[in-house]
């Protein structure tokens, strides 16, 4: 059973190794892992970023969102797995064969499938995928479960709907688009608070700016992380009591 702290995936959405180092040094004891995305991976380079986080006692979630033909995804998955990351992800929209290529080469890492990005609203989802976020996330999630993925990445808004389907119970459910009441929603469209997301069935929460750039009245990043962990703990206790 994960602790409340371990359920927090802090997003290192910065552009320099120096910025990343400051945050990892401060937050490593208070979060489960650091989600490293395209911004930092591109500006610094994946090997350096992963090495830095590991050297400071942190775990890495590699948010590369692989989305390519099966051979390219498979070969890239081998490289990422060799970094010793906790997890990496692949877009479900890349197709089942690409997802299976990632899974076949995951090593000791977990593979999470990205369903529908939390920045996409209903109208845009229909224009891209031909359906609303809920049904599309369900279709992607079923494929990911059948392919053997370890988990899915979805909006917290889809959690309750997805948890109605027993065939998805095996999947870890990772949710970005999580914003405490005291934080701005920024560019996220389908959001919940940490407590709401846990109550809806989330396993882990990806949280960036509310932790790395919290409002001044909240204090430094560590205080933001502690507040969120307390909210998660309360939601877990309430969920277990029902």
Q: For 137-189, how does the pLDDT look when each residue is reduced to its tens digit (9 = 90+)?
A: 999 999 999 999 999 999 988 998 999 999 999 999 999 989 998 876 555 55
In sequence order, the 6+-apart residues with CB closer than 8 A to the CB of 193 are 178, 179, 180, 181, 231
As a whole number of angstroms, the distance between CA 164 and CA 177 comes to 21
Residue-level pLDDT at 241 = 78
Helical packing angle, 122-129 and 133-147, nearest 10°: 50
pLDDT band at 15, cuts 50/70/90?
very high
Residue-level pLDDT at 240 = 81
CATH number where 163 lies: 3.20.20.70
Distance from chain centroid for Cα 170: 17
- For 32-52, what is each residue's pLDDT tens digit? 999 999 999 999 999 999 999
pLDDT above 90: residue 191: no
Do 97 and 167 meet the contact criterion of CB atoms below 8 Å apart? no
pLDDT above 80: residue 211: yes
pLDDT band at 92, cuts 50/70/90?
very high
pLDDT band at 81, cuts 50/70/90?
very high
Percent of the chain predicted with pLDDT > 70: 97
- The average confidence (pLDDT) of the chain is 94
- DSSP summary character for residue 220: S
As a whole number of angstroms, the distance between CA 160 and CA 121 comes to 18
Residues that are catalytic:
65
Residue-level pLDDT at 157 = 87
- Helix (H, G, I), strand (E, B), or coil: what is residue 132? coil
- DSSP summary character for residue 85: -
Q: What is the pTM of this model?
A: 0.93
Q: Per the structure block, which two tokens stand in for 150?
A: 């370890």
Give me the mean pLDDT over the 15-42 stretch.
97
Domain total for the chain? Answer: 1
Give me the mean pLDDT over the 60-79 stretch.
98
Q: Per the structure block, which two tokens stand in for 5?
A: 């702290």
Could you list the residue range(s) of the whole structural domain that residue 164 is in?
A: 5-241
The CA dihedral of 129, 133, 139, 142, to the nearest 10 degrees, is: 140
Percent of the chain predicted with pLDDT > 90: 88
pLDDT band at 206, cuts 50/70/90?
very high
| Other beta carbons less than 10 A from residue 120's beta carbon | 18
As a whole number of angstroms, the distance between CA 189 and CA 187 comes to 6
pLDDT above 60: residue 11: yes
Do 128 and 120 meet the contact criterion of CB atoms below 8 Å apart? yes
Residue-level pLDDT at 52 = 98
């Amino acid at each position: 059973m994960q602790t409340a702290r371990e359920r927090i995936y802090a997003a290192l959405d910065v552009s320099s190794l120096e910025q990343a180092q400051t945050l990892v040094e401060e937050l490593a004891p208070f979060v489960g892992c650091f989600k490293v995305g395209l911004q930092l991976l591109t500006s610094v380079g994946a090997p350096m970023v992963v090495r830095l986080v590991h050297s400071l006692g942190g775990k890495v979630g590699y948010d590369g969102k692989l989305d390519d033909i099966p051979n390219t995804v498979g070969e890239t998955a081998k490289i990422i797995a060799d970094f010793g990351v906790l997890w990496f992800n692949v877009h479900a929209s890349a197709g089942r064969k690409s997802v299976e290529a990632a899974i076949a080469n995951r090593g000791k890492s977990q593979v999470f499938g990205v369903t529908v990005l939390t920045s996409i609203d209903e109208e845009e989802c229909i224009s891209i995928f031909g359906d609303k976020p809920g049904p599309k996330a369900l279709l992607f999630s079923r494929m990911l479960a059948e392919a053997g993925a370890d988990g899915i990445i979805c909006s917290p808004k889809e959690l309750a709907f997805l948890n109605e389907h027993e065939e998805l119970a095996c999947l870890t459910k990772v949710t970005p688009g999580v914003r405490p009441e005291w934080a701005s929603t920024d560019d996220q469209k389908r959001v919940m608070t940490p407590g709401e997301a846990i109550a809806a069935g989330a396993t882990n929460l990806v949280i960036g700016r509310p932790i790395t750039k919290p409002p001044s009245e909240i204090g430094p990043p560590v205080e933001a992380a502690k507040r969120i962990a307390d909210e998660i703990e309360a939601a877990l206790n309430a969920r277990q009591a029902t």
